[in-house]
Every structure is written in structure tokens, then in C-alpha cells.
Amino acid sequence: MSDFQNDNQDHQKHAEMHDSPLVIGGVLFRHRLLMGSGRYESLEVMRAALAASEADAVTVAVRRERLSDGGGRNVLDFLNVEQLRIIPNTAGCYDMATAVRCAKMGREILKAFGCSVVDLVKLEVLGDSRTLLPDPIETLNATEQLVKIGFKVLCYCSDDPILARRLYQAGAAAVMPAGSPIGSGGGLSNPNHLRIIIDDLKSQMAECPVIVDAGIRTPSDVALAMEIGADAVLLNSAVAKAGNPVRMAEAMSLAVRAGRKAFLAVPMQKSRFASASSPEFGVITRKHVPSSGE
């Protein structure tokens, strides 16, 4: 019994020892869950959900200041900038030029606010307003531009393995294929493509983090993404639009950890047939049991 426990603990230590932390563009992250900050019913709920998620990275949008009421309450006042990496996004941009402008202005705000890390950007260049699917060509072009001017680009993209490779080659700090369309809750619509992307970007000379972004609905979506080897998951609506966002944030956090541990533990081989868990000898009958293999 105690031997078993020791083995188990050794195994856990082993697994944890061999899990290096998530690093994106030289920036270290303590958790493999990245959270969005949009669509919450209030900034207070957002703050509570972020705390429950234990994430240390949060995405934000760059938007025109409201001039009528002095800007009102600012999301920055609800983010612990000492502990959180703030990643401005280029959401709502439909062309390279606008996305680059947006990224630059986001960086400027982080500088003005005194953030220690200011050059991370979640690049999102969309091609269609109904599906919010990314425009792959504009995304690639914008990645090249942003890398040139010193950004660490986290590229939101479709789950196309060739595009993912091209983004990596263009200098993306992380490639972030969508599980399914933004805010759809469709889960991972093509796990096989995600597997190919992960396999491809981990087998090259340098390693590029692959983050599953968008489409997540439940912790099982998150766990699956992590089990197949994603480096992290980025989600927003799944928590913000849950009946209880704070509880869901905690569930997502656990799912990330569970999925990551499962990946490191290496799941058992699958078989079409059964393999008894109990000893096959010493059963209290001698009756012949039929088998489909005979």
C-alpha cells in the first residue's frame, strides 16, 4: 500500500518535473489557461472569474474612447497588472493595416499604464463578419509586419496545418488555431487538424507554442485540447456566458491542469477489443466462454 503510494508520488513528481512552464516569445506564464475579458455582465464578475481561473494572462480589446462620459470605468482598473500579462487583441480588424495600427496603439496604452510586458499581441484579422473566421492572407502579412516592429505575435488562425506552419515561419510567437468559430461554443471541430498542427510545430528545429483559441464551451473541450498536446487554451465566452462564470472559470482551470497532466502521463493505447482489468485465472467456473476471435 505504502509502496504503491510512493510509486504514485514519484510518478507525479516525475511528470511535474518534466513539464517546463509555458513560454511565449520569452515571456513565462504560470498557467496554461489564457482568459479573455469580454462579454461579462459586469467588470466585477470579470475580475472574480479571472481570479478563479488562476490565469496570469488576459486579452483585451483596443477600442475608441467614449468622449461623452469621460470614458467611464476602465477595464484596466479591474485588472491586477502586477500579476497579469495583458495581451491586447486586434479583434474587429479586417485588414493588415488596421490590425497593425491597432496593435501599436494597444502597446502604447500598456506602456503608458506602466505594464512590464508590453509587446505581446493577439493578432486577429477577420475575413467574414458572420463566421468571424480569420483571413489567412491578411493574418500572415500582418504577422510579418508586427514581428518586424518587435511584437511577440500570438496568431489567431484557422486550423489549417499549412497556414500554421507559414505563421510559425513568419516569426509568430504562438500559433492559435480556432477550435471552432469565435463565441460559437462548437468545441473542437477538427481535432485531427489540431493534432497535425501540434505535431508539425513541435517537430521542427525550434518549438512554437500551439494554443487552442476560440470555440471552447466546456471543460471537456479544454481537456481534449490539452490531452492532444496543445500548449495552452485561450477562452472567453465559455466562462463569460456560463450560468455561473466564476464556477466555470475554476472548472476550466482544473480542466487545463487535468488535460496537461494526462498529456504528460501519456494515455494508454486504444484497442478495439477488451482487456480484462481483473485476473483471467482463478475464476470460480470452468464453463466455456464464447469469443468472437474463435
Please list the active-site residues: 122
State the nearest-atom distance from the C-beta of 215 to another protein, in Å: 11
Instruction: Tell me whether residue 33 or residue 46 sits nearer to another protein (CB atom).
Output: 46
State the nearest-atom distance from the C-beta of 118 to another protein, in Å: 11
Measure the CA–CA gap between 74 and 65, rounded to whole angstroms: 10
State the nearest-atom distance from the C-beta of 108 to another protein, in Å: 4
State the nearest-atom distance from the C-beta of 264 to another protein, in Å: 28
Instruction: Tell me whether residue 15 or residue 189 sits nearer to another protein (CB atom).
Output: 189
With contact defined as beta carbons under 8 Å apart, do 261 and 75 qualify?
no
Indicate the residue type of 246.
V
State the nearest-atom distance from the C-beta of 233 to another protein, in Å: 12
Residue ranges that bind another protein, judged by CB under 8 A? 36-40, 43, 46, 59-65, 67, 69-71, 74-76, 86, 88-89, 91, 101, 104-106, 108-109, 111-114, 182-183, 214, 234-237
What are the φ/ψ torsions at residue 187 (nearest 5 degrees)?
Answer: 70, -155
Q: Which grid coordinates are listed for 221? A: 473541450
Measure the CA–CA gap between 22 and 221, rounded to whole angstroms: 20
Task: Specify the DSSP element, H or E, that contains 232.
Answer: strand 232-235
| CB proximity list for 184: less than 8 A, separation 6 or greater | 214, 215
Angle between helices 96-113 and 136-148 (to 10 degrees): 40
Radius of gyration of the CA atoms of the chain, in A: 22
Measure the CA–CA gap between 96 and 206, rounded to whole angstroms: 26
